[in-house]
Amino acid sequence: MIKTVIVEDNLTIQKYLSDMLLSDGRFEITAVYRDAFEAEDLCRSGDIDLVLMDVQTLHNHSGLSVGEKIRNCGKARVVAVTSLVDPEVLARAKKGASDSLWYKDHGSGELLDVIDRTLAGERVFPDSSPNVELKQMFSDDISPRQMAVLRRFVRGMTYDEIAAELGISKSGVRKILETLMEKGGFENKYELMIALVENKLIVTSLLDK
């Protein structure tokens, strides 16, 4: 049997994942947690084969942080399962926070297939984060430089702070925000910011242990 831990704070998704694995017949659900931090010690035991890890768990505790620790201290394979489309989430997962990643709302393949390939030793990741609609534009319309400005603005940095950190002018920061407001049909920069957060394109609330 494939000894499995599920880490997921949404009870409906918890049940979906459990039912999917149990109906397959090969998996044993060893434990289910809502908080990623609670799963860390169990997975160090060496008896776990698979962890299905939500990225943003209870209390905003980061499944990426715990996933990386689990991968570094045991044999368990970690499959990140998330609805967060923030490109930084995918990049961090690829850098070592998980063995594979599957998007809950945008997955292009079956989760069980991703799990099987991961257990076979393959690392399974999409080429890029999902392209989501933001009023009159899509996230793919935002360049990496524009995203860097937006990310810092959402985190509460001033124009001066953003300019200094990115090595551009204050007017350049303002121009980037104005361009995106016009392209997306947003009335102001705060409406743009809300759209970014509500569509999970920029996530600032993940807490590492």
Q: Where in the chain is the domain with CATH 3.40.50.2300?
A: 2-119
In CATH terms, the fold of domain 2-119 is: Rossmann fold (3.40.50)
**Residue 168, pLDDT score:** 96
Integer angstrom CA distances of residue 157 from 106, 125, 142, 152, 164: 31, 32, 19, 6, 11
What was the pLDDT predicted at 40? 85
**In 128-208, where do the E strands start and end?**
133-134, 137-138
CA Rg value for the chain: 19
Q: What is the pTM of this model?
A: 0.92
Note the pLDDT tens digit of each residue in 133-184. Answer: 999 999 999 999 999 999 999 999 999 999 999 999 999 999 999 999 999 9
pLDDT band at 108 (very low <50, low <70, confident <90, very high): low
Answer for the pair 59, 35: CB distance below 8 angstroms, yes or no: yes
CATH topology of domain 133-198: Arc Repressor Mutant, subunit A (1.10.10)
What pLDDT, in 10s, does the model give residues 33-74?
Answer: 999 999 888 777 778 999 999 999 999 999 999 999 999 887
β-strand pairing of 2-7 with 27-33: parallel
Cα distances (Å, whole numbers) of residue 207 to 20, 94, 97, 118: 29, 19, 14, 26
> Residue 79 and residue 198: Cα distance in Å, rounded?
24
Burial class (CB in 10 A: 0-12, 13-18, 19+), 66: buried
Q: Identify the pLDDT of residue 100.
A: 98
Q: Where in the chain is the domain with CATH 1.10.10.10?
A: 133-198
Mean per-residue pLDDT, 7-29: 95
